[in-house]
Amino acid sequence: MLAAIFAICGMTMVSCFSDTKKSTAVNVTDDASQFVTITDVVPDVILEIRYFGTYNFVGTRIDGYEEPTALLTRQAADSLKAVSDDVIKQGYRLKIYDAYRPQKGVDHFVRWAEDITDTLMKAYFYPDLDKSVLFPQDYICLKSGHTRGSTLDLTLFDMTTEKEVDMGGTFDWFGPESHPDFCGNPETGEYTGDNSKSPKGRSITPEQFQNRMILRQAMMRHGFKPFDTEWWHFTLKDEPFPDTYFTFPVKQLSK
């Protein structure tokens, strides 16, 4: 079970996915000097960059993803290192699906959403939705918090089983099943089993809910804030570029 992704609350909104907000001053730049390649700072992470491949809700490589790597601002990467050290002690590694996303990639999502005839990946990521509702129901937007460089999408990898941890749903699932409060209270960590928001009566188990909480709590302990519609999505609380959207492509950075 999986979650809603992008968010468009009208054409005046400037950010999606998380921390959606309005801004009067937005900067755009291709300066990558304050970014790092995540694996240079956090060598224990596993990368599965979904938008470099074809297993994503669009079904093709996304514009701006030139190499299967992941980038973040230096500050976000340093905090992620603390998260990694934390979960390793618990028997896990971090697995990253996406981090910095260039504006070109967001533009690709918008073009895809506008073409309601392109439903190639509907069965995998949005089977409960007609594609025509993605804009009006706040799933796609003109800008994303990922483009500011301190937001990432990730999960846990179990070092004992050598498998991805079961979160009860896939990354980038469009629907309430992806919300952190699905079947439980993320503030208390209590599993309630309440699946009334699921249009098809889907559910997750207590173990799957607890797995989501392990990731959430580790991220929050080290300076990241969660998003209320995606269990996998986190943004550095004190992000260094809250009003800057970057345009350089995703590829390995020179040290």
In the chain, the amino acid numbered 255 is: K
- DSSP at 51: T
Secondary structure E strands in the chain = 27-29, 35-37, 46-47, 71-73, 92-98, 151-158, 163-164, 184-185, 190-191, 224-227, 230-236, 244-246
Which residue from 183, 172, 162, 190 is spatially nearest to 227, judged by alpha carbons? 172
**Tokens 């999960």, residue?**
155
Contact (CB, 8 A) for 96 and 154: yes
Residues designated as active site: 230
List phi, psi (to 5°) of 27.
-100, 145
Taking alpha carbons only, the member of 68, 66, 14 closest to residue 248 is 66
| Separation of alpha carbons 78 and 172, rounded Å | 25
Q: What is the distance between the alpha carbons of residues 123 and 4, in angstroms, rounded to a whole number?
A: 15
Kindly give, in sequence order, each residue whose CB lies less than 8 Å from that of residue 97, ignoring residues fewer than 6 positions away: 48, 49, 50, 153, 154, 155, 171, 172, 232
